[in-house]
């Protein structure tokens, strides 16, 4: 079983761990190619591309100037600990024990607009490059064109026959996987909240729940779809009626 999530805009490379030996991302050369184009883009361009404030654009322009293929330990952190957005608050990697971290190192991957596909231990620097932004470089119209085949092939290489892929990424990131060429069943997820007698999707809760599922799988050593269906953190329970063979629906 493999699990994928999106990265997060919020990062902190001061986070670290003694439970993982740091590694170099599989697609570091590709990341360097993207960065070689990003490095020459002005703060104004970054502001418009990413729809961010001039202050944030300046900050990310500086990050682009400092980025390197082989960062020091102070300049980088293992991916699973570097991202600090809502998914990663749900995952809360820093409180996991060694068995859970080892499970995630084997089974968990993070999609990235800059790095492509990351293992928990892969060293990353501070960056901002969302997969869905219309960033054109070389002959590529966007990052989907650049990454789709590479990421899909890598997942096929890493997954054994009959393994399933738990898709806990956002639609923006999940679109980079070519499901027609992926040799494995993809399991999607929906999370709903009961509000005033109706089921509602609340984005921030959905993000948190995705991280909770990753944590649950690690803490329970989940291996099968039935194991995943038992997810019950923070009051969630599976809705068997709404769930299908390829989509699990949880409500609370």
**Residue 198, token pair as written in the block:** 């109706």
* pLDDT for the residue 18: 87
Q: How far is CA 245 from CA 37, 225, 248, in A?
A: 42, 10, 8
CA distances from 94 to 10, 55, 100, 191, 240 (A): 16, 30, 11, 24, 32
pLDDT for the residue numbered 156: 97
Query: What is the pLDDT, as a whole number, of residue 80?
Result: 97
Confidence (pTM): 0.96
Residue 191: both structure tokens together: 């999370």
Domain range for residue 140?
2-251
Please count the structural domains in the chain: 1
| pLDDT per residue rounded down to tens, the chain (252 residues) | 999 999 999 999 998 888 999 999 999 999 999 999 999 999 999 999 999 999 999 999 999 999 999 999 999 999 999 999 999 999 999 999 999 999 999 999 999 999 999 999 999 999 999 999 999 999 999 999 999 999 999 999 999 999 999 999 999 999 999 999 999 999 999 999 988 889 899 999 999 999 999 999 999 999 999 999 999 999 999 999 999 999 999 999
Residues 104 and 218 sit within 8 Å (Cβ to Cβ): yes
Supply the pLDDT for residue 196. 86
């Amino acid at each position: 079983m493999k699990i994928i999530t999106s990265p997060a805009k919020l990062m902190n490379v001061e986070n670290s761990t003694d439970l993982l030996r740091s590694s170099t991302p599989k697609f570091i050369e590709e990341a360097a190619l993207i960065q070689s184009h990003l490095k020459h883009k002005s703060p104004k361009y970054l502001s418009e591309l990413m729809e961010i404030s001039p202050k944030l654009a300046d900050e990310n322009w500086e990050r682009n100037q400092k980025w390197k293929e082989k960062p020091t330990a102070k300049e980088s952190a293992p991916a699973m600990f570097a991202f600090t957005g809502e998914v990663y608050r749900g995952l809360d990697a820093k409180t996991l024990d060694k068995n859970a971290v080892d499970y995630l190192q084997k089974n968990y991957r993070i999609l990235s607009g800059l790095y492509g596909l990351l293992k928990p231990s892969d060293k990353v620097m501070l960056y901002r490059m969302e997969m869905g932004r219309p960033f054109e470089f070389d002959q590529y119209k966007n990052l989907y064109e650049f990454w789709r085949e590479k990421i899909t092939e890598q997942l096929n290489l890493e997954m054994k026959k009959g393994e399933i892929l738990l898709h806990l990424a956002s639609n923006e990131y999940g679109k980079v996987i070519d499901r027609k060429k992926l040799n494995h069943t993809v399991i999607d997820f929906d999370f709903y909240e009961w509000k005033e007698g109706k089921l509602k999707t609340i984005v921030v809760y959905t993000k948190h729940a995705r991280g909770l599922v990753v944590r649950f799988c690690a803490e329970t050593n989940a291996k099968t779809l039935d194991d995943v269906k038992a997810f019950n953190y923070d009051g969630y329970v599976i809705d068997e009626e709404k769930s299908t063979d390829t989509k699990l629906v949880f409500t609370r």
